[in-house]
Structure 1
């Protein structure tokens, strides 16, 4: 049988979750950059995002973030605009939900922007609303059936 020539298994490829819980400094946009909200993921390291200036752009996730920072629909990101292609941009940074709330509080994001940090919380509210829609049967009602 041949010897194993690899460098390790699945856990080595997965790597460490490098200090996601640490507080990082809030990064604001500069010239040539714009805030955007991800509309949908397209695969192949790309996503479609609606920028705050009202333009829908095809965004490319940079290699440093690829397979390390997971971006989903509804996330707030910072994109670098291209001066030679207006309909394309590059994802520079993904904001965590608390950072996105801070950006909205500072007035960087418009009030019409819906932050999807509480996708689970929104479902809980709907479940509470539908939980009251059921009918209570008494024991005598069940006996009649």
Structure 2
């Protein structure tokens, strides 16, 4: 039994990879589509109950709603960059449809999507 454990420990110790050496290369980033009425937005604060305050890139502060299908998948914090779909009926409200990761935000900044 002791030999079995030592071989497992030895086998796992050699397969460790350094996290600092990894570079995250972004190959494909979803951008907002004007034909779907999507805008980039920054999360200002969390209101609770699937609701957030958004500062959209078109200059409007909207109340954003995270749909139930994406609520558990997207963990949104203050300062995150998201894609929002403004409502057609009320322009002061929007649905949050996408959240960007840090490498994707850096790519958006390099390409000029974020001012």
Structure 1: 4+ residue segments shifted above 4 A: none
Q: Which runs of 5+ in 1 are unaligned?
A: 1-20, 111-145
- Name the structure with the higher strand share: 2
**Map of 2:94 onto structure 1:** 89
Pair 1:100-2:108 in alignment = no
Question: Take 2:40 and 2:97, find their aligned partners in 1: how far apart are those partners?
Answer: 10
**Map of 2:74 onto structure 1:** 69
> Which residue, 16, 21, 40 being the options, matches 2:45?
40
| Greater relative CO (CA pairs within 8 A, separation 6+) | 2
User: What is the CA-CA distance between 1:24 and the residue it aligns to?
Assistant: 6.9
| TM-score of the two chains, using structure 1 as the length reference | 0.58
Q: Which runs of 5+ in 2 are unaligned?
A: 1-23
> Which residue, 20, 26, 31 being the options, matches 1:28?
31
The structure having more radius of gyration, on CA atoms, is 1
Q: For residues 119-143 of structure 1, what are the alpha-carbon distances to aligned partners after superposition, in whole Å with 9 as ceiling and x for unaligned?
A: xxxxxxxxxxxxxxxxxxxxxxxxx
Question: Take 1:62 and 1:98, find their aligned partners in 2: how far apart are those partners?
Answer: 24
**Map of 2:65 onto structure 1:** 60
Aligned length: 89
| TM-score of the two chains, using structure 2 as the length reference | 0.73
